[in-house]
């Protein structure tokens, strides 16, 4: 098929990873338009895309993406195959629905919504429009996490007893003050919903369906509506116990983003600042994958890692008809349901059973 034409809405901090991924795959996809309510920010991202292509010395004409400040106008004037949504979380389903109704495939940053009702609506409308819905879960593609997942799938742990995760990061008050939507229930959610979203996805991806959760959250150091700190204890259907500890108050900067699995025949920890370094890898049986541990470690430029390009590669293959989505809307909804359950448990002070029967 011809080169895939992509648009992007929301030119905040995560948008660079999408622009970078599209530029990396310039032979197959082209960013034709960007949208943000702040025109200067949209213009800056369009220029960023051009600069990335120039630095690659691409052998093709480089066209700067057209700039919009209104999504409806962009959707009415542009013919695109894919819209990448990088706006505040509460707007992801709103913008996704608009694109789907124009028969444009939807790529949503995490989380896909801030409540299950809107997530279900987005899934339904994408189904009705016969367009693909992708939800970014780039951490699954990290080399360290791929190796860990293979060990789980091969049964190297035997029976899994515990899956633990720590997200011990720092977000200053100035970070929240930079954008009014940050730290609000309507548009963002708190540390679990925003910063720890990928780790919650990882826990469920590795441990399987969740039976129940109990959680405590608090707003201890930041002037925001939502939580900046919390802990959740999970019971998986297979009997294993999970735990995730999250805080945005770590002094003086991001310290740890980790996943640990403890099983009857193996123990492994993927740690570092953002699950980028295998710190423990010990199993009863030897496997060829053990030789890959050192080479799978890497130093990320930021907590987002390098997974966005790989995620876009999967999208391109899906749109060509050669693959299935690595994480579609229904897969993306699983971690959202767990996040909602964590908040429900903290608010009501009780164990929450899954699946959730109420929004």
pLDDT in tens, 245-272: 999 999 999 999 999 999 999 999 999 9
Enter the tokens of residue 237. 């259907």
Q: Does one domain contain both 320 and 253? A: no
Of 122, 162, 116, 165, the residue nearest 339 (C-alpha): 116
Q: With cut-offs at 50, 70 and 90, classify the pLDDT of residue 299.
A: confident
Q: Does one domain contain both 268 and 245? A: yes
Residue 121 placed within a domain: yes
Q: Which domain holds residue 50?
A: 4-138+308-328
Residue 284 placed within a domain: no
Q: Does one domain contain both 22 and 62? A: yes
Which pLDDT value is given to residue 37?
Answer: 97
Q: Does one domain contain both 155 and 123? A: no
Residue 30 placed within a domain: yes
Report the number of distinct structural domains present in the chain: 2
Alpha helix locations (H) across 57-207? Answer: 71-77, 92-101, 116-129, 143-153, 173-178, 197-207
Q: Does one domain contain both 75 and 160? A: no
**Mapping DSSP to helix (H, G, I), strand (E, B) and coil, where does residue 125 land?**
helix
Q: Does one domain contain both 73 and 170? A: no
Return the CATH number at 33. 3.40.50.720
**Any idea what the Cα angle at residue 92 is, between residues 88 and 98, rounded to 5°?**
130
Q: Does one domain contain both 243 and 316? A: no
The DSSP H or E segment spanning 342 is: helix 329-348
Cα gap 8→256, rounded to integer Å: 31
**Mapping DSSP to helix (H, G, I), strand (E, B) and coil, where does residue 90 land?**
helix
Residue 99 placed within a domain: yes
Q: Does one domain contain both 97 and 149? A: no
Q: Does one domain contain both 348 and 211? A: yes
Do 55 and 48 form a contact (C-beta atoms < 8 A)?
no
| Residue 32 predicted with pLDDT over 50 | yes
Q: Does one domain contain both 134 and 196? A: no
**Any idea what the Cα angle at residue 27 is, between residues 21 and 33, rounded to 5°?**
60
Which pLDDT value is given to residue 59?
Answer: 83
Q: Does one domain contain both 240 and 149? A: yes
Do 170 and 253 form a contact (C-beta atoms < 8 A)?
yes
Q: Does one domain contain both 319 and 226? A: no
Rounded to two decimals, what is the model's pTM?
Answer: 0.93
**Mean pLDDT for the stretch of residues 13-35:** 96
| Residue 359 predicted with pLDDT over 60 | no
Cα gap 182→228, rounded to integer Å: 11
């Amino acid at each position: 098929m011809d080169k895939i034409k992509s648009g992007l809405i929301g030119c905040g901090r995560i948008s660079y990873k999408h622009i970078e991924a599209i530029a990396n795959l310039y032979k197959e996809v082209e960013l034709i338009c960007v949208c943000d309510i702040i025109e200067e920010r949209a213009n800056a991202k369009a220029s960023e895309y051009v600069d990335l292509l120039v630095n690659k010395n691409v052998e093709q004409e480089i066209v700067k993406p057209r700039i919009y400040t209104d999504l409806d106008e962009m959707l009415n004037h542009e013919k695109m195959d894919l819209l990448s949504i990088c706006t505040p979380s509460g707007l992801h389903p709103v913008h996704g629905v608009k694109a789907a109704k124009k028969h444009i495939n939807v790529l949503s940053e995490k989380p896909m919504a801030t409540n299950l009702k809107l997530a279900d609506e987005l899934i339904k409308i994408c189904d009705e429009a016969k367009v693909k819905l992708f939800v970014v879960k780039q951490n699954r593609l990290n080399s360290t996490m791929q190796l860990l997942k293979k060990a789980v799938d091969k049964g190297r742990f035997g029976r899994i007893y515990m899956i633990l995760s720590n997200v011990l990061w720092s977000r200053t008050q100035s970070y929240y003050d930079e954008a009014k939507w940050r730290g609000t229930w309507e548009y963002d959610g708190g540390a679990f919903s925003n910063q720890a979203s990928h780790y919650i996805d990882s826990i469920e991806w590795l441990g399987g369906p969740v039976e129940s959760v109990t959680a405590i959250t608090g707003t201890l150091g930041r002037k925001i509506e939502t939580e900046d700190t919390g802990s959740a204890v999970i019971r998986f259907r297979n009997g294993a116990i999970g735990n995730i500890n999250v805080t945005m108050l770590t002094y003086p900067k991001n310290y740890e983003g980790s996943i640990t699995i403890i099983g009857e025949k193996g123990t492994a920890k993927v740690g570092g600042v953002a699950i980028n370094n295998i710190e423990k890898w010990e199993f009863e049986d030897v496997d060829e994958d053990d030789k890959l541990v050192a080479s799978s470690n890497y130093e990320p430029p930021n907590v987002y890692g390098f997974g966005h390009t790989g995620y876009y590669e999967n999208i391109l293959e899906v749109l060509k008809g050669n693959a299935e989505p690595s994480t579609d809307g229904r897969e993306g909804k699983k971690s959202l349901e767990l996040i909602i359950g964590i908040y429900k448990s903290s608010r009501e002070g009780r164990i929450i059973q899954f699946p959730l029967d109420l929004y």
